[in-house]
Amino acid sequence: MSAQSVLFIGGTGIISSACTQRALDVGMDVFILNRGTSTTRPAPEGCQQLTADVSDEASVREAVAGHEFDVVADFRAFTPDHVQSRLDVLRDRMGQYVFISSASAYQTPPQRLPVVESTPLRNPFWQYSRDKIACEDLLVRAYRDEGLPMTIVRPSHTYDRTLLPFDGGWTVVDRMRRGVGVVVPGDGTSLWTLTHHVDFAHAFVGLLGHPAAIGDSFHITSDEWLSWNQIFAAVAEAAGVEPSYVHVPSDAIAAADPDWGAGLLGDKAHSMVFDNSKVKQLVPDYVATIPFARGASEIMDYYDADPARQEVDEKMNATMDQLVDAHRVRAS
Ligand SMILES: NC(=O)c1ccc[n+]([C@@H]2O[C@H](COP(=O)([O-])OP(=O)(O)OC[C@H]3O[C@@H](n4cnc5c(N)ncnc54)[C@H](OP(=O)(O)O)[C@@H]3O)[C@@H](O)[C@H]2O)c1
């Protein structure tokens, strides 16, 4: 059994846009709820737009009035207050609430790999992750105590053509193309998992309305594991350059830029690879088919198509200059 009607809160975002399209492709009645302001990924033909701002609960209540959904998939909940607000408004109108959590909620650094869904949730480094854990706790309690039909989905790093996988985004490609040193955190050998949003959506939509998904949690990732050196190389190849790399310890990056450092020490500096058997049990035809080499070409085509997209972050650029200068290995 799968869902007939689904509401995506979000629906035109990096991840949710592919989910909207996939749900339409498999024949669901698709509603999206957002402010209607994002233009990067226009809502696909065939979905029904509900307009509201989730920070204004009354506007959400008004937008969903008269509707009932087999599934509500919430891409815009980051704290327990957000989740509670959704339950207050939608509880009697939905058959399943799917909360989009984050794989950064898993124990960081991980004690054992690959990560499975029973890996403990603990991230002392990142408030965003702790808030997602608090959301999950609320939902697990509501399932246990009141039978709330909820499902938790933890995406890991999931991208579309707009998202370069680096802190600093285009700034890194600009440095590659200018031939100045490119900062690679650590020694570049830790492993990372990058998932294309179309692959994610395939598995995700398979969980919607699936009775065995109720009360449970799943991550959805690619099975391709890459070192950061390989990720930088894939982007450089797509950009048509052979950059010079400067490896910089993550704690030195954290000292130079605490925000960049928090995202490394609390997330990207640790090898993260995932066992996807659990979601594959429920969605047996799920297999990630898009390697990052192809994703990197899509990303570069998107940025090269319009120079207005090529924004350099000058502050980040200056930090990178400093780090390159301090850490470049010079021939003696
Ligand atoms: N990408 C990743 O690697 C990753 C990893 C782990 C977890 N996640 C989780 O994935 C979710 C993000 O999903 P996403 O990538 O699809 O979305 P996104 O790109 O972050 O969000 C944009 C979507 O949300 C809508 N939106 C933004 N502010 C809104 C508001 N105040 N009220 C109503 N709608 C609003 C936008 O439309 P309008 O602007 O038109 O309103 C658009 O549809 C988050 O919960 C995040 O924690 C992402």
- Check pocket membership of 15 for ligand 1, CB cut-off 6 A: yes
- Check pocket membership of 165 for ligand 1, CB cut-off 6 A: no
Residues 212 and 282: beta-carbon distance below 8 Å: yes
Q: How far is the CA of 163 from the centre of ligand 1 (A)?
A: 13
- Check pocket membership of 10 for ligand 1, CB cut-off 6 A: yes
The tokens for 223 are 């099975």
State pLDDT tens for residues 142-165: 999 999 999 999 999 999 999 999
**Using omega within 30 degrees of 0 as the cis cutoff, is the peptide bond preceding 114 cis?**
yes
- Check pocket membership of 12 for ligand 1, CB cut-off 6 A: yes
Give the per-residue pLDDT at 266. Answer: 81
Whether the per-residue pLDDT at 216 is higher than 60: the answer is: yes
Tell me the three state secondary structure of residue 144.
helix
- Check pocket membership of 129 for ligand 1, CB cut-off 6 A: no
CA-closest residue to ligand 1 atom 33: 34
Tell me the three state secondary structure of residue 130.
helix
Q: How far is the CA of 102 from the centre of ligand 1 (A)?
A: 12
- DSSP characters over 31-100: EEEE-S---SSPPPTTPEEEE--TTSHHHHHHHHTT--BSEEEESS--SHHHHHHHHHHHGGGBS-EEEE
The minimum-distance atom of ligand 1 relative to the CA of 12 is: 43
- Check pocket membership of 100 for ligand 1, CB cut-off 6 A: yes
Q: How far is the CA of 280 from the centre of ligand 1 (A)?
A: 25
Give the per-residue pLDDT at 1. Answer: 57
Q: Is pTM, for the whole model, over 0.75?
A: yes
CA distance 62 to 40: 26
CA distance 171 to 164: 10
Give the per-residue pLDDT at 332. Answer: 55
Cα–Cα nearest to 76, from 33, 24, 136, 134: 33
State pLDDT tens for residues 27-79: 999 999 999 999 999 999 999 999 999 999 999 999 999 999 999 999 999 99
State pLDDT tens for residues 272-289: 999 999 999 999 999 999
Q: How far is the CA of 12 from the centre of ligand 1 (A)?
A: 8
Residues 180 and 243: beta-carbon distance below 8 Å: no
CA distance 184 to 310: 20
Give the per-residue pLDDT at 331. Answer: 62
Beta-carbon-side half-sphere exposure of residue 21 (alpha carbons within 13 Å): 17
Name the DSSP letter for residue 209: T
Whether the per-residue pLDDT at 262 is higher than 90: the answer is: no
- DSSP characters over 245-302: EEEE-HHHHHHH-HHHHHHIIIIITS---B--HHHHHHSTT------HHHHHHHHHHH
Cα–Cα nearest to 286, from 197, 215, 193, 206: 206
The minimum-distance atom of ligand 1 relative to the CA of 195 is: 3
